[in-house]
Amino acid sequence: MNCEDMTRIPQLNNVLNMKAGAAGMKNTIRWIYFADCLQCVKNEYHVEDCIHGDEFVVLTNPDVTEDKNKLMALITSMIDYGIAALGINEGQILPELIEYCNKEGLPLFELPEKFPLVDLSQILCKRLVLEENNRNLEEQVFASILDAEHLNRDSVLEQAQFLGIDLTGSFCVVEFVFGKNRRGSKDLLSTGQEIRSIINMEFSFYSGNVLVMPQTGSVLALVSTDRISDEDLKAVLKRIIENAERKHHICLKAGIGSSVEYLEDVKSSRREAAEAVKVASVSDTEERIFFYKEQGIYTFISKVTDSRFLDDYVVKNIGKLIDADEINNGSLCETLESFLNHNCNVKETAQSLIIHRNTLNYRLNKIRELLGVDFENLDTCLELKLAFMIRSYRGRK
């Protein structure tokens, strides 16, 4: 549920009067937090002990709302921990707070003083619990789709319709993979739920509801390719990655599988999404978004399921170089790979490796002797280039 959804709850008609922060109406609400407890007024209050992100914070204590310095300090610290919205009793909203919420895109709602807070809590909590149950059902539907061998199409479509999700048309799978430099002490489950909230919020602008399923170390999303272009999809994924980094200090990479028309083929798109991230990790690119269809020759390599065949190809073409480097702690593999990457141009290769041209020519002669190859032969160069690409893809095993 986001802030916009909250205002549409029938029982809350004429209860939530928006005063500021319209830009944040798509903020996801995970829970409601009443910040009127005595500890919130004390100087030793620690926001991080009570705010964990995506809360609708209700604050009606005059000791706080009428003290501008205390109020602004409290709200500023809560925003740093990712609250979704703020509710304050009518007559207690300061002009400075309105200005601040507009600047930060934090929805600010004025609450009728006569409306019981316990009723507000019950209404929102029931809605949030219902949504949690629906999320569990969404994951079951997504898991059923991925289990193509036992897919009951009619049952899946019926459950999706109940959830308000249209599974007609074409889809692709996007996999958001957590980077190794993920900071913080949160467990993977909590991390996955945080990413899920961001995904739902961002896609709500374009393609409506999407199926999302957290995994160990990643989160999957099933996206309609009929309702969003590749360009818009890339823009959405970029915002998701940026929000995850800014709000939760999570480094993400996104792999996008091919678009498929049949639910039975979604499993293939999911596999391609994972391969896209794996393939991209071979290079040193700083990019975070990878379409499987744009990975060039690596898409071909990833289709080869016989790992031994790939490893044998590497050994056949550059195995002697690998062995020589291991024995002599040398750099013949690095030299040849750079030479091939620079289209067999001696000058550019020497500059790239920061070595003298004579040194490079000496190494190249050594490589010719070991492999018995002729760099004037285009087919030979292609085979060697492919061997290095396979080696990188296989994790330099």
pLDDT tens digits along 314-358: 999 999 999 999 999 989 999 999 999 999 999 999 999 999 999
Position 124 confidence tier, pLDDT thresholds 50, 70, 90: very high
Please give the share of the chain, as a percent, with pLDDT higher than 90. 50
pLDDT at position 396 over 70: no
Query: What stretch of H or E contains 201?
Result: helix 188-203
Query: What stretch of H or E contains 289?
Result: strand 289-291
Model pTM? 0.65
Domains plus CATH for the chain? 3-115 (3.40.1390.20), 129-295 (3.30.70.270), 307-394 (1.10.10.2840)
Instruction: List the structure tokens of 152.
Output: 């009951």
- Please tell me whether residue 307 adopts helix, strand or coil conformation: helix
Q: What is the pLDDT of residue 2?
A: 86
Residue 80 is which amino acid?
D
Position 64 confidence tier, pLDDT thresholds 50, 70, 90: confident
pLDDT tens digits along 169-215: 899 999 999 876 545 545 666 778 888 888 988 887 775 678 999 98
Q: Are 58 and 113 in contact (CB under 8 A)?
A: no
pLDDT at position 98 over 80: yes
Q: What is the pLDDT of residue 337?
A: 93
Instruction: List the structure tokens of 32.
Output: 């409601």
